[in-house]
Structure 1
């Protein structure tokens, strides 16, 4: 079970992602997987998370709702900007979405 699946089943909280990354880095779990696979993220989701860690709840929500991250963000675009911990973070996310052609 990957990290996103653990979040969805209630076996992990989103704020435990650093522990999951550490377990992967130390070879405790997921040695045969790329980090994004171990976490349960697509390459685009992983890239977004690396750019803006506060995007993680939207990634989990996208999986819960069986949507792409772009679809999830489109459904919640205004709230995302309001909830960004810093204006710069919201600007970075907007730039990334424009770069991948989602805005």
Structure 2
């Protein structure tokens, strides 16, 4: 019998399937930190995210539905969806959004996109 390693679904896999909530993401991060030497994958791979998706999620955890929408629609470039997210946040004019708007705005600007 061949050596087959079966890995548990990642956080993003479960989120896309509707079997995990955004709040469960922190539990996955904690599980990775507490796994010791058992888990050899980098955190991004453990979560099922690309580096870019992880960076966006850490800038603003409300980008998770945007990341999911990009994955589900097969969008190869997430920039357009993030720009829409930023425009919605700006329209809310809520000071609680300021830090996320700053980070995401710079992320978009570095890619030559105004939002």
TM-score (norm 2): 0.71
- CA distance in structure 1 between the partners assigned to 2:85 and 2:73 by the alignment: 13
CA change 1:90–1:44 in 2 (3 A) is: same
- Shifted more, 30-39 versus 77-86: the winner is 77-86
Q: Which residue of 2 aligns with 1:61?
A: 69
RMSD, aligned α-carbons: 2.4
3-state secondary structure, aligned to 1:36? helix
Work out whether residues 4 and 39 of structure 1, in 8 Å CA contact, stay in contact via their aligned partners in 2.
Answer: yes
Of Structure 1 and Structure 2, the greater helix share is in 1
Report runs of 4+ in structure 1 exceeding 3 Å deviation: 74-77, 80-85
Structure 2: unaligned runs, 5 residues or longer: 1-8
Higher gyration radius (CA):
2
Q: Which residue of 2 aligns with 1:42?
A: 50
Q: 1:1-103, aligned counterparts within 5 Å?
A: 1-27=9-35, 31-67=39-75, 68-74=77-83, 76-82=85-91, 85-99=96-110, 101-103=111-113
CA change 1:20–1:52 in 2 (3 A) is: same
